[in-house]
Amino acid sequence: MTGIGLFAGHQYQIAFVLLVGVGLYTMIDAKNLVKKVIGLNIFQVGLFLFLVSSGYLAGAGPAIVDGEGRYVNPLPHVLILTAIVVGVSLTALALALIIRVYDEYGTLDEEHIQEVMDGD
């Protein structure tokens, strides 16, 4: 198998790893709190991608009751919908907390906040 062939068969897994990696790295490295939340979202998106793609069958159609032929496994879709909703509520809560933090400390930079807190 050629290099491209290797990639082509596993594009979703590779994308999963990349997204998770980028997301985690952003969460760890970024100083800005909003960027951390963005990183969290990217991380979760990668995860969702992996799970949805795991149900995919080449050449299969959507799972409709009266449809014909093979169909893609709909269970992961359902699961990921749930997970997306959870992710959205978490993001909402995170942003609300960030607003509160901003009101108190006037900055979104984690290092500055840490300094102020240590000074207390």
Partner 1 sequence: MTDALLGVVIALPVIASVVPLVASFWREEIGWYVAVVALVLNAVLIGSVVRSFVSGGILSHEVGGVAVPYGIELALDGLSAPVLVVIAVVSVGTLAYTRTAGPRSNSFYSGYLLLTAGLVGVTVTADVFNLYVFIEITGLGAYALIASGGDGRSAYAALKYLLVGTVGASLYLIGIAYAFVATGTLNMADLSARLADVGYGDTIVLASFAFIIAGLGVKVALFPLHTWQPDAYSASPYGVAGYVSALVSTVAAYALGRVILTVYTPGFLTANPVVSSGLIYFGALSIVAGSVLAVLQTDVRRLLAYSSVSQFGLIVAGFGIGNTASVFGSVVHLFGHAVMKGALFLTAGIIAYRFGVTRLDEYAGVARRVPYAGAAFAVLALSLVGVPPAIGFVGKWYVALGAVRAGETAVAVVIFASTLLTLMYVARLLDRMYYGEAPEAVADGGGGTRVTRGMVALVVLASVAVVALGPSASAVQETLALGEVLGG
How far apart are alpha carbons 47 and 16 in whole angstroms? 6
Q: Would you count residue 66 as binding partner 1 (CB under 8 A)?
A: no
Candidates 88, 117, 10, 93; CA nearest to 53 is 10
Site track 1-20 with partner 1 (rule: CB under 8 A), x = hit: --------------------
Give the shortest CB-69-to-partner 1 separation in angstroms.
20
Q: Would you count residue 72 as binding partner 1 (CB under 8 A)?
A: no
CB of 85 within 8 A of CB of 48?
A: no
Q: Would you count residue 82 as binding partner 1 (CB under 8 A)?
A: yes
Structure tokens given for 35: 């960027």
Among 24, 38, 60, 63, binds partner 1 (CB under 8 A): 24
User: Cα 53–1–5 angle (5° rounding)?
Assistant: 40
Among 47, 60, 71, 77, binds partner 1 (CB under 8 A): 47
Q: Which residues share a beta bridge with 105?
A: none
Structure tokens given for 112: 């500055």
CB of 37 within 8 A of CB of 94?
A: yes
Residues that bind partner 1 (CB under 8 A): 24, 27, 33, 36-37, 40, 43-44, 47, 50-51, 54, 75-76, 79, 82-83, 86, 89-90, 93-94, 97-98, 100-101, 103-105, 113, 117, 120
